[in-house]
Amino acid sequence: MTARSEDGGQYRRRVGAVRPSHLMFTGGVGALVDLPNFSVLVRGLDEWNYSQTQQREITEPRLLAAVARQHRRVTSLWPAPWLEGVDTDPNGQASRVGVPTAPFPAWFRCTACNELAGLDSRLFAFKNDRPRAPHEARFVHEGCKVKRGADRPLAVAARFLLACTSGHLDDFPYAHFVHRGAPCPKASHPKLRMDDRGGNIGANVAIQCVNCGDQRNMRDALGARGQENLPRCRGRHPHLGTFEPDGCAARPAVLVVGASNQWFAQTLSVLAVPQTGAGELESTVEEHWELLQKIEGPLLAFARDTLPQMRAFTRWGDDELLAMIEKVRARKAGGDGAPDDDTDLRKPEWEVFSAPEAPEPTADFALRRDPGGVPEPLRGVFTDVVQAERLREVRALTAFTRLDAPDPDDPDLVARAPLSRSETTWVPASEVRGEGVFLRVGEDLLRDWERRVADSAALELHQEAYRQFRKNRYSDRLPGGFDPMRHWPGARYIALHTLSHLIIRAIAAECGYSAASLSERIYAGTEEDPRGGILVYTAVPDAEGTLGGLVSQAEPERLVRLVRRALRDAMRCSSDPLCAERLPQPHADFLHGAACHVCLFVSETTCERGNRFLDRRFVVPIDDTGLALYRELP
């Protein structure tokens, strides 16, 4: 990451480093990233510069099509800008290439004299004397009268911010707050002090005006009282350097730097699975687009004869290939050649994993089945076990929200903040490679279980909790005829999701994997297109999970031991009987039953639904045998 000055200066200095996946989930465009001595805000896409890099766009047609449905002008996916060579020459060109950031909050407090001021006051100077240690970047108070000498005192960010549900973020208005909305009677630019005694408690922080003596405690800005004492939202997007022309009608809320609700990513992800027919041709054209974009009709025959890369297209005729080149060219130019409008991103994945024959292995995707099929002790549990020896997952950041997390089923219900000042033609993306295990549950078993639990009191309580959850969260945004059960995932999803968590926790306990390095994809489908499978996979940009360790867990002996442990561990929890008896009750809106941190919950990066839709009673017989998917354990 590189930082520039808040007052418009264009210096670029390295201030730290993050993984590409960090930019997708916790620290992307518009997010605050905590550094050891201050925090920075990731700037908008308008300032991301690729002129000095040698990176290429990420190719994944299915994901690009999905992104284009939200941003019609998007024609490409790009990784974060990066240039090799920082380790060998920390002062070279590579040190000035990266994701642009700016110090934020822009108000700082001297740790020696407690003076509080903005960076535009020029009281604080940026220091980073060690190029090989960008994390030691800091701001110091040059004119401090308490601590003099060459070793200037550290200045730290004043840790309060304003944010609203419309996606705006702003510095806390300290001068307005301490003077209760009036100007200082003694100075046009008053000198402020912040007495911060630590802890994330407003009562521990007092703001004082040195000029007039006015003083106010930060507790007056919190809670219901704060709504009366804060100014209206200015509609500021600091990552873009813009303000809404007409302001913002939303009420701002006070946040502390580091608050988890200051930024929520809205992302899309797909697995790069082999395609057939036109889909396969389109994917191959995308992969070789740098070459094909210059080829017109008369040049195609010459290209086939002279360019080795054209061997990838031997299965398609000239007319078919030229038509696809034109289609992709039109889409990239923003024309009508949009990719297939299939909104179900997981359907192609399910079709590949559940197909009787595995596709030909590629550099991105390779499947293998044990010749003996499902181990004999588990044939009542699964109907298919597939070892995914190679996987490639591509993720794209499409937008972000503040204070209110986006709804994965209704992305338009929560106000989304823009990634750029103008309509963007690309979005940031990352790709990671790993491996996984796909487990398929028999359709007959699932249908029989669904009939057994359809009218059960337990499932009705889950449905009512979901209905209440939707009303509580979106009641002020739902149209009059909205059905709060429209996106109910179904009983099948709860069972498969619970089984997935049991397998993940067993893998972590059995073979030493960090559960946070594992991810899940649940293939439950819909009533019209039912599916029944789970994929547990690694998708992290390091060595763990890429050397065959996870795939080896699907070997017959290990898998039998693993599944038996997972199901038997589900029979008991150290929080029982409280956990085993838990069910959502009327007016409650928590979306889990017999589940807790002891027995089922996993990290947020692992679970695709935030530890919701989980209940052990729907998988193993912990109370009513009729509710369990597996009434007898292997």
* 184-198 confidence digits (pLDDT tens): 999 988 999 999 876
Banded pLDDT at 480 (limits 50, 70, 90): low
Q: What is the mean pLDDT of residues 265-277?
A: 83
Q: Rounded to 5 degrees, what are φ and ψ at 617? A: -65, -20
Higher-pLDDT residue of 82, 369: 369
Nearest one of 615, 403, 382 to 489, comparing CA atoms: 615
Strands (E), 311-425: 366-368, 384-401
Output the DSSP codes for 584-611: --TT----BSS--TTTT---TTT-TTTT
Output the DSSP codes for 406-458: PPSS-TTSSPPBPSSSS--SEEEEEEEEEEEEEEE--HHHHHHHHHHHTT-HH
C-alpha–C-alpha distance, residues 387 and 559, integer Å: 11
pLDDT of residue 342: 47
- H/E element, 108: strand 107-110
CA dihedral 7, 10, 15, 19 (to 10 degrees): 110
Q: Which residues pair with 535 in a beta bridge?
A: 438, 521
pLDDT of residue 509: 85
Banded pLDDT at 201 (limits 50, 70, 90): low
pLDDT of residue 543: 46
pLDDT of residue 477: 67
Total-model pTM: 0.83
Distance from the first to the final alpha carbon of the chain: 51
Query: Residue type at 96?
Result: R
C-alpha–C-alpha distance, residues 74 and 68, integer Å: 5
**Is the model's pLDDT at 209 over the cut of 90?**
yes
Tens-place pLDDT, residues 126-151: 988 787 788 888 999 988 888 877 78
Higher-pLDDT residue of 413, 544: 413
**Is the model's pLDDT at 612 over the cut of 90?**
yes
Higher-pLDDT residue of 351, 548: 351
Banded pLDDT at 116 (limits 50, 70, 90): very high
Q: What is the mean pLDDT of residues 54-80?
A: 88
Output the DSSP codes for 241-297: TEE-TT---SPPEEEETT-GGG-EEEEEEEE-----HHHHHHHHHHHTHHHHTT--H
Banded pLDDT at 339 (limits 50, 70, 90): very low
pLDDT of residue 230: 86
Banded pLDDT at 382 (limits 50, 70, 90): very high
Q: Report the mean per-residue pLDDT for the chain.
A: 86
Q: What is the mean pLDDT of residues 153-178?
A: 92
Percentage of the chain modeled with pLDDT above 90: 48
Q: Rounded to 5 degrees, what are φ and ψ at 349? A: -65, -45
**Is the model's pLDDT at 558 over the cut of 80?**
yes
**Is the model's pLDDT at 476 over the cut of 70?**
no
Q: Tokens 């390091």: give the residue.
A: 542
- Strand ordering across the sheet containing 100-103: 13-14, 2-3, 100-103, 39-42, 32-34
pLDDT of residue 498: 98
Pairing of strands 13-14, 2-3: antiparallel
Q: Which residues pair with 108 in a beta bridge?
A: 117, 157
**Is the model's pLDDT at 591 over the cut of 80?**
yes
pLDDT of residue 115: 93
C-alpha–C-alpha distance, residues 35 and 53, integer Å: 25
Tens-place pLDDT, residues 220-255: 888 777 778 888 899 999 999 999 988 898 889 999
Higher-pLDDT residue of 38, 510: 38
**Is the model's pLDDT at 10 over the cut of 60?**
no
**Is the model's pLDDT at 335 over the cut of 50?**
no
Q: What is the mean pLDDT of residues 276-287?
A: 68
Lowest-confidence range among 51-55, 320-324, 461-465, 475-479?
475-479
C-alpha–C-alpha distance, residues 504 and 518, integer Å: 7
**Is the model's pLDDT at 478 over the cut of 90?**
no
**Is the model's pLDDT at 525 over the cut of 80?**
yes
pLDDT of residue 340: 43
pLDDT of residue 1: 57
CB 427 within 8 A of CB 473: no
Query: Residue type at 203?
Result: A
Higher-pLDDT residue of 85, 32: 32
pLDDT of residue 545: 47
Q: Tokens 């704060």: give the residue.
A: 226
C-alpha–C-alpha distance, residues 427 and 77, integer Å: 5
Q: What is the mean pLDDT of residues 486-513?
A: 91
Q: What is the mean pLDDT of residues 496-505?
A: 97
Q: Which residues pair with 592 in a beta bridge?
A: 614
pLDDT of residue 208: 94
The domains of the chain are located at: 274-344, 435-475+488-627
Higher-pLDDT residue of 280, 16: 16
pLDDT of residue 69: 85
C-alpha–C-alpha distance, residues 443 and 451, integer Å: 12
Percentage of the chain modeled with pLDDT above 70: 91
**Is the model's pLDDT at 90 over the cut of 90?**
no
